Amino acid sequence: MNVDVYNSLKHKTKFLLVPHGSEVTGENLNIKDPDFSKIALFKANVPLEQSIIGPDPAKAQADIAEKGYHVCEIAINIKIQ
């Protein structure tokens, strides 16, 4: 499965994944999260596959099948000793 990845312009660490070529509007996807009221295309036609960094492909595919989209958020934790 290939997806288009959109970035929230209100919360830069949140991303929306939809099937490649999907029409992305709040009304079309019925997204209630206000962080996605303003979005921009980050990358198009990205293969959804297992990697060290990125969303869990199985969870993303399940969410897309159920809701039409998957939301993921980037978190970076740094520990200084």
Q: Does a structural domain hold residue 7?
A: yes
Q: Is the pLDDT of residue 13 over 80?
A: yes
Q: How many domains does the chain have?
A: 1
CATH number at residue 24: 3.10.510
Question: What does pTM read for this prediction?
Answer: 0.85
Q: Mean pLDDT score of the chain, rounded to an integer?
A: 89
Give me the mean pLDDT over the 4-19 stretch: 94
* Cα within 13 Å of Cα(47), Cβ side: 3
Which of the four pLDDT bands, split at 50, 70 and 90, describes residue 52? Answer: low
Q: Which residue has the higher pLDDT, 49 or 46?
A: 46
Q: Does a structural domain hold residue 20?
A: yes
Beta strands in 1-81, from DSSP E residues, in sequence order: 2-8, 14-19, 39-47, 70-73
The answer to whether the CB of 10 falls within 8 A of the CB of 37 is yes
List the Cα angle 81/14/56 in 5-degree steps: 80
Q: Does a structural domain hold residue 78?
A: no
Q: Does a structural domain hold residue 79?
A: no
Q: Is the pLDDT of residue 75 over 90?
A: no
> Domain limits at 68?
2-48+56-73
